[in-house]
C-alpha cells in the first residue's frame, strides 16, 4: 500500500472530466495542494462526448434559463482568449420555414436577447440571410429560402479538459489517471478533520489524505456517493444520453447549421476535422453504467431522418463513418422530458462541524466549466480557508499564449520555422498544441527527425509528447481523445499503433 502526501492535501478531486480538471487547475493556481483521480482516461466520459460547442444555449431561452444563458454567453470570448488554438468562432445558420416549430417572431426575439445578454465584443452579431443567393443554401431543400445567422464557438472538448489537467499539474497538482477511488471516509487527526481516500491503480492501492473532498465524477457522482462513501440513497443526477453521427463533408465552407425539428428538439450540423460533418445531438434518459453508453439504432435513424428533412441530399446509414454517445449528468430537477431538464449546475457543500467538508458537483455544461470552478473555489475557501483570488479569466491554457485572433498568423510562423512539416501538419499541430508545438519539435530540423509515421500524419515525435506530457497510454487515448486521427487511420494502422504502445517503455 502506497501512502504519500504528508502533510495532507488541501483538496482531493474525484473525476477527470472538464469540471474536475477545471476545479483542480483553479485551486492549484491559487496555491492549494491538490490531488485528482480519474478512474479512466482524462475526458473519457462526458467531456469527450459533447457536441463540442462553446455556446450560450439558444434553445435554453425557451425554458427561461436566463442566468445560465447569460453566464455562458459571457464565457464564450473569455474561453476563446484562454485557448485560441482550441476554440474558434463559428457562425450558425438557422433556416426558416413557414409553419415551423418556432414562429419567426420568437426566433428574432431570441436572437436579439442572444446578441445582447452576454457582453459580446469580438463575435459578429446576428444577420438575416437569403439562402437562395448564399452558397450554403445549395445544400438545403429549395423550400428553405430565408435564414438567420448568429455567432457561437467550437472547441476540442477532450483537449480542453486535458490542458486544464496539464496546467494543474504544472502548478503542482498530482494527477492520477486510471485510478479509481474505491473508498473515502472521514477521520480525525492532529491536523483536524481529514478525508482518507483509498485509490486502486494498476493492482496497487494508494492512500491520500485531504482536508476536503470534491465529488466531480459527473455521471458517476451518485455512484461515487453510494459505493465509495456509503450514501445508499444518493439520487441527485439525471442521466441523459446524447448521441452523434459523423459523415463525410456534406456542405461547403466553415459555417454550421441549426436545424429545428417539429418535436421541438434541435440538431446541429457542424464542419468537423476538415473532411467531415458532425450531426447531433439526441436527448434520451439513460439507466445503467455510463461507461456503456452507445448510440442506439433508433437514435441513429432519428439523426439521419432529422438531417434529411433539411438537406437536399439525404444521408444514408452507410454514409455514417463514425458515431459516438455519452451520458450527460444533469441535475435532477424533476423535469418530465430529458430535453427540458436544466443544464445549470448545483454545488452542494456538506461541512459538519469539526469534520472534513465534502463538495458535490451536479450538472453543468462545457461552456460554463470555468465559472463553475470559480464558484466551487468560493465554497472551498469558505470551508477550509481562502488563498489567492480568482485568476483564470485572464489566463492562458498551455500553448495558448497568443492573440485571440492570431491562429492563422501563428500557424504560418510555425510552417516557416519548420518547413518540413508542410502546411497541413503545421496547421494541425498548431490547433492541437498551440505554441507548445515548438517544444514538441525542439531539435528536429528535417522530416526524418519526426520518426516513424504510424498513419495519417501522426509521427513518433508527437506520440512521445502525448505519452510524456499528456498521460496517453493506449491507442484509443491517442486516436480519439488527444486527437481525432481515428477518423483517418485504417484498422491495420490502429492495430499497429496499439501494438507499439503496448511495448515496454
Same domain, 171 and 135: no
What is residue 11's three-state secondary structure?
strand
- Tell me what pLDDT residue 336 has: 47
Same domain, 173 and 31: yes
Same domain, 422 and 489: yes
39-49 pLDDT, tens digit each: 999 999 999 99
Q: Are 390 and 374 spatial neighbours (Cβ–Cβ below 8 Å)? A: yes
Q: How far is CA 66 from CA 70, 74, 110, 209, 228, in A?
A: 6, 12, 11, 40, 36
Q: Could you give the number of structural domains in the chain?
A: 3
Q: How far is CA 362 from CA 71, 265, 365, in A?
A: 17, 24, 10
Same domain, 253 and 327: yes
- What are the φ/ψ torsions at residue 363 (nearest 5 degrees)? 80, -160
Domain boundary pick from 287, 305, 333? 333
Give the burial class of 468: count Cβ atoms within 10 A of its Cβ; 0-12 exposed, 13-18 middle, 19 or more buried.
Answer: exposed
> Which domain covers residue 143, as residue numbers?
83-154+238-333
Is residue 148 assigned to a domain? Answer: yes
State the Cα torsion 488-493-498-503 to the nearest 10°.
-140
Is residue 214 assigned to a domain? Answer: yes
Is residue 429 assigned to a domain? Answer: yes
What is residue 98's three-state secondary structure?
coil
Same domain, 121 and 10: no
Q: How far apart are CA 291 and CA 256, in angstroms?
A: 29
Enumerate residues 6+ apart whose C-beta is below 8 A from 70.
56, 117, 118
Same domain, 150 and 255: yes
470-480 pLDDT, tens digit each: 999 999 999 99
| Regions in the chain scoring below 70 on pLDDT | 1-5, 63-64, 99-101, 191, 333-343, 505
Is residue 53 assigned to a domain? Answer: no
Same domain, 372 and 480: no
Peptide bond preceding 281 in cis form (omega within 30 of 0): yes
Same domain, 138 and 257: yes
Grid coordinates of 173:
497538482
- Tell me what pLDDT residue 337 has: 53
> Per DSSP, which regions of 48-203 are E strands?
53-54, 87-96, 127-130, 146-155, 174-177, 180-189, 192-201
The domain spanning residue 428 has which CATH number? 1.10.8.870
316-344 pLDDT, tens digit each: 999 999 999 999 998 876 654 555 556 67
Amino acid at each position: 500500500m502506497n501512502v504519500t502526501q504528508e502533510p495532507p492535501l488541501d483538496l482531493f478531486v474525484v473525476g477527470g472530466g472538464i469540471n474536475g480538471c477545471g476545479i483542480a487547475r483553479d485551486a492549484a493556481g491559487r496555491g492549494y495542494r491538490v490531488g485528482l483521480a480519474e478512474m479512466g482516461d482524462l475526458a473519457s466520459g462526458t467531456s469527450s462526448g459533447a457536441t463540442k460547442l462553446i455556446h450560450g444555449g439558444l434553445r435554453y431561452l425557451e425554458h427561461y434559463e436566463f442566468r445560465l444563458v447569460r453566464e455562458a454567453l459571457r464565457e464564450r470570448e473569455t474561453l476563446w482568449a484562454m485557448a485560441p488554438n482550441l476554440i474558434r468562432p463559428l457562425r450558425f445558420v438557422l433556416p426558416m420555414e413557414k409553419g415551423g416549430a418556432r414562429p419567426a417572431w420568437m426566433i428574432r426575439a431570441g436572437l436579439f436577447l442572444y446578441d445582447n445578454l452576454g457582453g459580446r465584443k469580438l463575435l459578429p452579431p446576428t444577420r438575416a440571410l437569403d439562402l437562395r443567393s448564399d452558397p450554403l443554401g445549395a445544400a438545403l431543400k429549395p423550400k428553405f429560402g430565408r435564414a438567420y445567422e448568429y455567432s457561437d464557438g467550437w472547441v476540442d472538448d477532450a483537449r480542453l479538459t486535458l490542458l486544464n489537467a496539464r496546467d494543474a499539474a504544472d502548478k503542482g497538482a498530482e494527477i492520477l489517471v486510471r485510478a479509481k477511488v474505491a473508498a473515502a471516509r472521514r477521520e480525525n487527526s492532529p491536523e483536524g478533520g481529514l478525508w482518507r481516500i483509498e485509490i486502486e491503480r494498476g493492482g496497487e492501492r494508494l492512500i491520500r489524505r485531504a482536508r476536503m473532498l470534491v465529488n466531480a465524477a459527473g455521471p458517476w457522482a451518485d455512484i461515487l456517493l453510494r459505493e465509495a462513501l456509503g450514501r445508499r440513497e444518493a439520487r441527485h443526477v439525471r442521466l441523459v444520453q446524447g448521441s452523434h453521427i459523423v459523415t463525410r463533408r456534406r456542405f461547403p465552407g466553415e459555417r454550421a447549421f441549426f436545424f429545428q425539428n417539429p418535436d421541438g428538439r434541435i440538431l446541429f450540423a457542424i464542419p468537423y476535422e476538415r473532411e467531415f460533418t458532425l450531426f447531433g445531438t439526441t436527448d434520451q434518459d439513460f439507466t445503467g453504467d455510463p461507461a456503456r453508453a452507445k448510440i442506439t439504432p433508433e437514435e441513429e435513424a432519428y439523426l439521419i431522418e432529422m438531417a434529411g428533412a433539411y438537406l437536399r441530399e439525404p444521408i444514408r446509414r452507410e454514409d455514417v463513418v463514425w458515431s459516438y454517445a455519452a451520458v450527460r449528468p444533469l441535475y435532477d430537477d424533476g423535469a418530465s422530458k430529458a430535453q427540458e431538464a436544466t443544464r445549470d449546475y448545483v454545488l452542494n457543500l456538506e461541512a459538519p462541524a469539526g469534520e472534513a467538508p465534502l463538495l458535490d458537483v451536479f450538472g453543468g455544461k462545457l461552456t460554463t466549466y470555468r465559472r463553475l470552478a470559480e464558484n466551487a473555489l468560493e465554497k472551498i475557501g469558505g470551508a477550509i480557508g481562502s488563498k489567492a483570488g480568482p485568476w483564470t479569466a485572464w489566463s492562458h491554457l498551455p500553448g495558448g499564449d497568443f492573440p485571440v485572433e492570431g491562429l492563422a498568423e501563428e500557424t504560418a510562423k510555425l510552417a516557416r520555422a519548420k518547413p518540413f512539416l508542410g502546411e497541413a501538419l503545421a496547421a494541425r499541430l498548431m490547433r492541437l498544441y498551440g505554441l507548445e508545438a515548438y517544444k514538441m519539435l525542439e531539435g528536429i530540423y528535417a522530416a526524418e527527425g519526426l520518426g516513424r509515421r504510424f498513419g495519417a500524419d501522426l509521427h513518433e515525435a508527437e506520440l512521445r509528447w502525448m505519452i510524456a506530457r499528456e498521460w496517453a497510454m493506449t491507442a484509443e487515448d491517442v486516436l480519439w481523445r488527444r486527437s481525432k486521427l481515428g477518423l483517418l487511420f485504417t484498422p491495420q494502422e490502429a492495430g499497429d499503433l496499439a501494438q507499439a504502445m503496448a511495448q515496454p517503455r
